[in-house]
Amino acid sequence: MGHVAELDGIRAIAVLIVVLAHAGLERVVPGGFGVTLFFFLSGYLITSQLRVEAARAGTIDIRNFYLRRICRINPPLWITIGAATLLAGTGLIQFSVQWHVIIAQMFFYVNYVAPPDQVNGAPITPLWSLAVEEHFYLVFPFIFQIALRRMAGRHAALFMLGLCFAVLAIRVANVALLTDYTANYYMTHTRIDSILFGCCLAMWNNPVLDRQTCTRPAAFHVALALLTLGICLLIRSEMFRQTFRYTLQGAALFILFAAVLQGNTMVGTVLRWRALRAIGAVSYSVYLCHETIFMLLDQQAAGLPAAARDAVALVLIAAYATLMFWLVERPLAMARQRFGRLDGAARLSFCSDPAPRGGVGCKQPTLGRAGNFDDARRPGTPR
């Protein structure tokens, strides 16, 4: 689909929200919304990439999908867990380490071990959100493959929207039936709808791949989406948070992503700023290391003013993430390309017609039944 610079900017904003919340500003910075933003972005981007692969090859290679995912996620995670555990083992961070929890962190089931604030694995950021994503992508390629063969794009999006409402129903049932329903926040089966909303946008009315046919949200729709997000952040009820908040946020983000990624907008220009794109490029390692560094400085530099500690922490976070990007993530990104290569004919047939805007993406051969997601077929066109 080409490189979409705005997505780097959105990724940067999401990770900055999370970092600032964990820096002690959680009362004014909605860290949970940063996670939801990450989820939506991930669902949109990966599903769009699968559409591109299916357009080129007529199918997707699930084995290569898993290999690419492992190369992207596991090495930075395991290195950071090792570094954090070493800091705890040497006493630089006072932290009670439980090895069975470290294993759960390494293999993405920590969100079913204990609540994030009660987990004593490696002193690292709570990895429940990463576990949710990895559980989702363990099964999603099979769902996409079924949609590719049996559904038109609009029908596939409606199917995924139905799954979103099924997840909402589970959250509501938990609130109605359980005394403690706070696990709704971090369990996979109660949070994957935030990813699925992004998948819906990727499958239907995609502002990048369906640029020629998709509908751009009107100003009224954008205003309504922003108002919805504002209301979601202002309502402090735990019951609302654990039920409808994530659904409403997902619906609002569907509209906002469709507006921002379609055509030249003022917001899109901001998201393409070089500084934001640089932060977006290293956001994964920032997410992994930031809590460890905050913890280290809180314990080893307790005499410094809080503002000074936070400033030093941000410098160290940026340094670690940059080193991780150049020494680990970038080489792995080059290696991942070997798991996504297609034959030359398939590549040539896909990108022969560039997109109208600034080199972002190309005109997408439509996909649906038997590889054609275009719902608006001409009468009599063979399926």
Question: How far apart (Å, rounded) are the C-alpha atoms in residues 180 and 75?
Answer: 35
Residue 336 domain-assigned? yes
Please tell me the least confidently modeled range out of 169-173, 222-226, 310-314, 330-334: 330-334
For residue 6 the two structure tokens come to: 């705005």
Residue 268 domain-assigned? yes
Residue 174 domain-assigned? yes
Total Cβ atoms within 10 A of residue 8? 21
| CA 257 to chain centroid | 13
Between 2 and 46, the higher pLDDT residue: 46
Q: Find where tokens 């946008």 sit.
A: 201
Q: Find where tokens 């961070």 sit.
A: 93
Q: Give the Å distances, CA to CA, from 262 to 13, 24, 200, 356.
A: 19, 35, 16, 11
The pLDDT of 301-325, averaged and rounded, is 94
> What's the pLDDT at 340?
59
Q: Angle 31-57/128-150 helices, nearest 10 degrees?
A: 30
Residue 38 domain-assigned? yes
Residue 349 domain-assigned? no
> What's the pLDDT at 115?
79
Residue 52 domain-assigned? yes
> What's the pLDDT at 5?
92
- The pLDDT tens digits for 177-190 are 999 999 999 999 99
**Predicted TM-score (pTM) of this structure:** 0.87
Q: Is the pLDDT of residue 355 over 60?
A: no
- Number of domains forming the structure of the chain: 1
- The pLDDT tens digits for 8-42 are 999 999 999 999 999 988 888 999 999 999 999 99
372, β-bridge pairs: 367, 368
Which range of residues forms the domain containing residue 139? 5-340
Q: Angle 245-260/219-234 helices, nearest 10 degrees?
A: 150
**DSSP 8-class letter at 93:** S
> What's the pLDDT at 381?
36
- The pLDDT tens digits for 73-103 are 999 999 999 999 999 999 999 888 888 899 9
N-terminal to C-terminal alpha carbon distance within the chain: 25
> Hey, CA dihedral for 110, 113, 116, 118, is it positive or negative?
negative
The pLDDT of 302-318, averaged and rounded, is 93
Q: Rounded to the nearest 5°, which phi and psi values hold at 12?
A: -65, -45
- The pLDDT tens digits for 209-252 are 988 888 889 999 999 999 999 999 999 899 999 999 999 999 99
Element (H, E) at 54: helix 31-57
- The pLDDT tens digits for 156-183 are 999 999 999 999 999 999 999 999 999 9
Class of residue 182 by CB neighbours under 10 A (exposed 0-12, middle 13-18, buried 19+): middle
- The pLDDT tens digits for 343-353 are 333 332 223 23
Question: How far apart (Å, rounded) are the C-alpha atoms in residues 123 and 257?
Answer: 34
The pLDDT of 327-347, averaged and rounded, is 67
Residue 353 domain-assigned? no
Residue 275 domain-assigned? yes
Q: Is the pLDDT of residue 72 over 90?
A: yes
| CA 22 to chain centroid | 18
- The pLDDT tens digits for 243-292 are 999 999 999 999 999 999 987 788 999 999 999 999 999 999 999 999 99
For residue 36 the two structure tokens come to: 């939801």
Q: Give the Å distances, CA to CA, from 23 to 36, 295, 298, 340.
A: 19, 10, 10, 38
> What's the pLDDT at 339?
65
For residue 360 the two structure tokens come to: 């972002």
